[in-house]
Structure 1
Amino acid sequence: MSADLGAARVVLATHNRGKVRELQAMLEAAGFSGPGTVVDAKSAGLGDVVETGVTFEENALLKARAAAAASGKVALADDSGLAVDVMGGAPGIFSARWSGRHGDDAANLDLLLAQLSDIAPEHRRARFVCAAAVVGPDGEEHVVRGELPGTILTAPAGENGFGYDPVFAPEGEGGLSAAQLSLEHKNRISHRARAMSAVLPFVLELLDRTGAEPSETGSEG
């Protein structure tokens, strides 16, 4: 049984409060506002979803479908990771547990660098990938992908990031790692920002169809 969601319009299938604030801000800029418009998985009383998909898109859809079914609301989820060209797209969906221990960033990074130790710079192309999925209470669903291309460095650099950020140099950033960029700038160009921007029109369409009214105080631009 889902929790009392009150005025919530969207359930974001995550326990990350930062992601909730980000989506809330995007919806407010689009004209949908008010406190509690977006709630996280915990607030909606949702349990963890076993990610049995073999692609980012499949796992994002699994989480969004579960959240929509349990809450009766528009649900949004994302799944992301690193794909290295010479490794056939690995670590891919296994990015967070590449070393065998989920969420061990240092071990994951060390293993990746060891696997690429004899790979020439011109063959170290990679990309961060994010799939974002939105599912309506009637079962309508959309899934999009955002990518940030770049290269894998030979050694970590920078203190601002997490995960693979210290060894990933985004394209067009002068060889700096993602961990050397400001958080504001990184978030603006990130794979997740691109995916969320692409999925937002579908979220707004579903909100409009399910009775959410645009705020009179929303963005005019």
Structure 2
Amino acid sequence: MLVDDDPLVRSALALMIGGQPDIEVIGEAANGAEGLARCATDRPDVVLMDIRMPVMDGLEATRQLHARPSPPRVIVLTTFDADDYVTGAIAAGADGFVLKDTPPAEIVAAIRRVADGEPMLSPSATASLIRQIRTDNAETSNGSDREAQALARLSSLTEREHEVALAIGRGLSNAEIARELFLSVPTVKAHVGRLFDKLGTTNRVQIAICVHDAGLV
């Protein structure tokens, strides 16, 4: 599903994505409210969501989608990479944040990756998120306390789980972790699932934050 108030952007994305053998564009919407309605009827697997739109912006639409049962994956696709937009998108439940000037092949790769359950942040978005995390840490808690707490959480992991957690902290995908650690992708996915349980996290970004808090990446 494409949600963007610019019809030229939607047309360009539809043309680019529609040419992929494994991806189908099933609907378009011109604002967040329309996108919510279309998602309820068309039930897409992935939504490409603009941020700045009339009627309802992309962050609020993402927040409302995320509150629904079995929500679609959401990739925020925007021309802006300000820190507030990145952290706002993640807080709203977005699974990815990609700039509109990202090469087409990378946008397509992001769709596939998010559809497979892995978050996708552009390099600039990742840098913005890390900056915000460090700022929040400095403002809300003693850095050594956060590091000790993160290390304590990670101490419950097996050696292999610890290796997978560090790889996630470095931003590697499941396929990249599998190649680096000489594991199968299903085995990596199983380790990631155990990390969610042991660390009390619900997504890979939270695992990465824990690893960064521990000072291990």
Normalising by structure 1, we get a TM-score of 0.25
Structure whose residues are more often strand by fraction: 1
Normalising by structure 2, we get a TM-score of 0.26
